[in-house]
Structure 1
Amino acid sequence: MDLPLDGILETALYADDLDRAEAFYGGVLGLQRITRAGNRHVFFRCGDGVLLIFNAAETVKPPPA
Structure 2
Amino acid sequence: MTTPPEPFAPAEITRAECRGCGAEVHGLNGRYACGVCGWVNHWAEGSAELPRAEDDSDYPGRR
Q: TM-score, normalised by structure 1?
A: 0.28
Which gives a bigger RCO, structure 1 or 2 (Cα 8 Å, sep 6+)? 1
> Which is richer in strand?
1
> Which is richer in helix?
1
Higher-Rg structure is 2
Q: TM-score, normalised by structure 2?
A: 0.28
